[in-house]
Structure 1
């Protein structure tokens, strides 16, 4: 009996590729050791991973380690079970990571003499998605013959994840970037052809050149919404306030500071491009100092200051006024309300501004709202929808929200 903690970690980070079957092919690059962490990350997002290794790769990492990492037996040679046929036929995606110059060249020109190249040959014949992650010395990667081989397989619909070029080496990409590309390939593309504008994060208002007033928004909710829309095929632009979270590759990002900046940028974007959806998940601050100090206040000399605040422009109100046909989804943060009070305020807000959906949350509740990865929300509309999403990861809230948008709004947009 063999032990594996695969079932413990499976989908522990998300269900983006739940139960998707991924054949992970490992070749003889020194980066082969990274395939262990890559396999684990794929499993943590729900995948079932089946490893295949070339003989050269077994000299770098022991197959038993990859078997432990995936919870599945490693194919290192073929038997009468014709494993290459079964793996290619039953996989949702075949991933070669790392891929050596030797394996890439063989695949490009139809040589199938290793377990990996045999799996690739059959997978291409079945029309399965194939992802190649080259990793090698820089001069080998720049070799025009190898580049010709890469172009040849690109023309056949194979995905290439470009390496990081550092220290004259074509290095293995960040694991999170590989996983994100796999999400993009395997996700249902129900947002394909739609342009989506999302706001996220807090704004700041200056008291003097170094002191500001702001709020505690992290921008995570808006980021996860933008990512979900991107994975589902949307053309996404994210207008991001002052925050320090990492934004996944593929999302067009415009950074802003003040509420006025966010206000102007949103209106400029909506006026410049024809967007289908505007999802206002940002947290622009509602007030700004009426008078701002031009130089830094000397706290050793000035013991007390009075700051008079003036209301900042309301983004959603102006958007609805100017773009009457745009689908608008707004977030509304409240504090210390009962469920009924929260729902009623959200419905009233939707009716007052003619919003398509409102996502309401109470930031006083434990582990909900600002600077945490989780939230509890109510999604409502003017027609009687009341969807309660209990405390869960913001990534799951983004998925639920875009599902509801898809069900109730997208049929009118496609």
Structure 2
């Protein structure tokens, strides 16, 4: 934390400094100013601040008056080791922090704050910070959280913000709420934008993930222990970086946070190798990059039995046949695309 962070009075002796850089990532030596607004989801931002620090970031917190009424600024000082900015003073904190930071992350972003930023207003510390940072060419990221009706009303507002160069992370829609996404996804999105930018903007990316299942009978299958996490992670990373992403997947057990599939343009669930083949060939034309991370079965029973084989039958002999070579067909169908394959070896 040497050099340019000295003016920020980074609390080296504060216990929170001990978590900085615990996790490997691309936020090391990055300064993120976390803007917090008056949303009921505000408590999630305490965890977000700590997670960003674990990825190596220096985090400063700026709060709206409404946010400071919901959660004490002292809690954010505890979380980050540095006092939160709650009002604009003669120290012009919104200017100094905008100049010093690498990005501004407003999470949660209330509808009121989003409208104020889109309307070029700066009446709170958070909106003033966002305007100053945007004017200096710094990335400003917004993470809305509100009730579903308000989110629906905000659709045109989101478009206006994105046209002005702001980044907006869609909330997780659940019941009557447009919820604050899991903090792990917010941190990942932030890291991707800061470290790699929107370098895949406009590209069409197709990813396969997970295992396939080939039925022996209605209740027994030949499969493998693939979780699909690598393919799902590739798909999400491409989406964060601006690509239009289609994920064709078998049964998944990725361990990724809830709602991750909502950030992809299309997800197609399949079970067998033949189903994956058909889904892939229907979508491969026009694809710019394809990642084949699925663990597709190499063999399948030559004919699935119509009923469950009773265990009393004793030994069971299966005749297996090769499954189609999906990648080879996809390469022929889209010869101009970049094709990236993966294979597990022992």
TM-score bracket relative to the smaller structure: 0.7 to 0.9
Aligned-pair CA distance for 1:51:
0.4
Aligned-pair CA distance for 1:126:
2.3
Aligned-pair CA distance for 1:72:
3.0
The CA RMSD measured in Å over matched residues stands at 3.1
| CA gap 1:155/1:196 in 2 versus in 1, 3 angstroms | closer
Q: Does 1:175 align with 2:183?
A: yes
| CA gap 1:106/1:264 in 2 versus in 1, 3 angstroms | closer
1:307 maps to 318
Q: Does 1:122 align with 2:98?
A: no
Aligned-pair CA distance for 1:125:
2.6
Out of 229, 232, 247, the residue aligned to residue 238 of structure 1 is: 247
Pairing 1:98-247 to 2, within 5 Å after superposition: 98-136=108-146, 141=150, 153-163=161-171, 171-183=179-191, 185-186=193-194, 187-245=196-254, 246=256, 247=260
Q: Does 1:95 align with 2:109?
A: no
Contact 1:4 1:69 (C-alpha < 8 Å) held by counterparts:
no
Aligned-pair CA distance for 1:137:
5.5
Aligned-pair CA distance for 1:199:
2.0
Q: Bigger shift: 60-69 or 158-167?
A: 158-167
Contact 2:261 2:267 (C-alpha < 8 Å) held by counterparts:
no
Q: Does 1:256 align with 2:270?
A: yes
Cα distance between partner residues in 1 of 2:336 and 2:161: 44
TM-score with structure 2 length normalisation?
0.80
1:68 maps to 78
Higher-Rg member (1/2): 1
TM-score with structure 1 length normalisation?
0.69
Cα distance between partner residues in 2 of 1:108 and 1:118: 12
Contact 1:26 1:99 (C-alpha < 8 Å) held by counterparts:
yes
Aligned-pair CA distance for 1:110:
4.6
| CA gap 1:6/1:237 in 2 versus in 1, 3 angstroms | farther
Structure 1: give runs of 5+ residues left out of the alignment: 336-414
| CA gap 1:95/1:267 in 2 versus in 1, 3 angstroms | same
Partner SS state of residue 192, structure 1 = coil
Contact 2:251 2:271 (C-alpha < 8 Å) held by counterparts:
yes
Partner SS state of residue 77, structure 1 = coil
Contact 2:63 2:85 (C-alpha < 8 Å) held by counterparts:
yes
| CA gap 1:283/1:82 in 2 versus in 1, 3 angstroms | same
| CA gap 1:274/1:286 in 2 versus in 1, 3 angstroms | same
Aligned-pair CA distance for 1:25:
1.4
Partner SS state of residue 122, structure 2 = coil
Number of equivalenced pairs: 329
1:398 maps to none
Q: Bigger shift: 305-314 or 115-124?
A: 115-124
| CA gap 1:332/1:138 in 2 versus in 1, 3 angstroms | closer
